[in-house]
Amino acid sequence: MRTLLAVAALVPAALTLLPGCPLGCGGWEGRGDTMFRSEGGEAVMLCANGGFAATLSTGNVEGVFEWSDEITASSPETGARVFSMKTDVNGATSSPELGAGWTQATLDQVELDHAHVQCADLETRAWWGTTGTLAGLPKATAWKKPAAGFATADACFEAQARGEYPEAALCEDELLACPDGRMKLSEGQTFDTGTYSTHFGTLYLRPSFSFAFDGVFSSDGSLAARPAGDTSSTAQMWRQVPVAEMSNGATCL
């Protein structure tokens, strides 16, 4: 972070130097690191060690990433997706979280040496090396959404008052994800348990009796969930809440 802004100011907007050095590696530090920058002056350094350091308009962010057909980056402290990036057939790189107008930067040997300081710093963080060692998210995380058939929880409460919805039923579905990979799901008058796994902000949730679903856990706390394997339907939006707000005695203990 302490050198990223200075380095970004020196970088011309061109496309070279992919991870793995397809144009040839030298013997200097940072030869496998890659920097992206935005039209607004933001910068993301993707490090060869698997970590990232981003200087954004909202502040500095660090974490880990995977680069396959797209880049997906997450926070080891929460497990949430920080950003994803993808380059289209026309060579334009954009991010749902960070916006469009990103380009891959050309860094020479000296610039790479300086920029690499951030990558080395990541290895001093308390969370470094813990990524991938947990079955699930690093801490218990809970979400709620309006019960099926209702736009809001208040609409459900009103239906209960009119006798149109069971009084004992929950007006908000509840989901609890535990660090050991267990999950607990309350829907209406049903309570289910199961397991889940996580991969750079994507949660794969598998209740024992309910339908399986997948969700993207974003850094704003939301969980955008769809039926397992479905990438086209409209996502159901869950909002993050304190674990203490779970009903039915749901805890991770």
For 16-50, what is each residue's pLDDT tens digit?
A: 333 333 333 334 444 578 999 999 999 999 999 99
Q: What is the pTM of this model?
A: 0.83
- Please report the DSSP string for 80-143 in residue order: -EEEEEEE-TTS-EEETTTEEEEEEPP--HHHHHHHHHHHHHHTTSTTTTTTTSSSS-SS-EEE
* Residue 162 confidence (pLDDT) above 80: yes
For 100-121, what is each residue's pLDDT tens digit?
A: 999 998 888 887 887 888 899 9
